[in-house]
């Protein structure tokens, strides 16, 4: 049997990152581009189908600036997500 899938990580600021299940970084050494450490993660199993990623709540939508001449949009800030509470066992 084999396992296929990916991991979804949120940094402490709420930025989302995707990693292949066989190529995810070490949690200890990993830092988001904003400098924050991993605060939450989940595994999405795609072994027998497309898998189902959990729905995340947007904390702040991405913002853009639009050039008045050519109407090209440039990102100013990226979307951030609410970090889900850890499961209580």
Report the predicted TM-score, pTM, of the whole model to 2 decimal places.
0.84
Strand partners, 64: 75
* Residue 16 included in any domain: yes
Which residues constitute the domain of residue 33?
Answer: 5-81
Task: Let me know if residue 86 belongs to a domain.
Answer: no
- Using one digit for the tens of pLDDT, what is the confidence trace for 64-89? 999 999 999 999 999 999 999 875 44
* Bridge pairing between strands 63-66 and 73-77: antiparallel
Tens of pLDDT, residues 3-27: 999 999 999 999 999 999 999 999 9
- Do 33 and 25 form a contact (C-beta atoms < 8 A)? no
Structural domain contains residue 73: yes
| Distances from the Cα of 6 to the Cα of 32, 41, 57, angstroms | 17, 11, 20
Number of domains in the chain: 1
Look at residue 88 and tell me if it is in a domain.
no
- The Cα–Cα gap between 89 and 83 comes to 18
In a domain, 89, yes or no: no
Instruction: Please indicate, yes or no, if residue 87 is contained in any of the structural domains.
Output: no
- Structural domain contains residue 42: yes
């Amino acid at each position: 049997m084999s396992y296929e899938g990916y991991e979804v990580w949120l940094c402490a600021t709420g930025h989302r990152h995707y990693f292949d299940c066989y190529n995810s970084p070490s949690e200890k050494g990993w830092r988001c581009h904003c400098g924050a450490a991993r605060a939450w993660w989940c595994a999405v199993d795609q072994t027998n189908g497309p898998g189902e990623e959990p729905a995340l709540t947007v904390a702040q939508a991405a913002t853009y600036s639009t050039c008045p001449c050519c109407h090209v949009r440039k990102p100013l800030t990226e979307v951030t997500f609410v970090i889900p509470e850890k499961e209580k066992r």
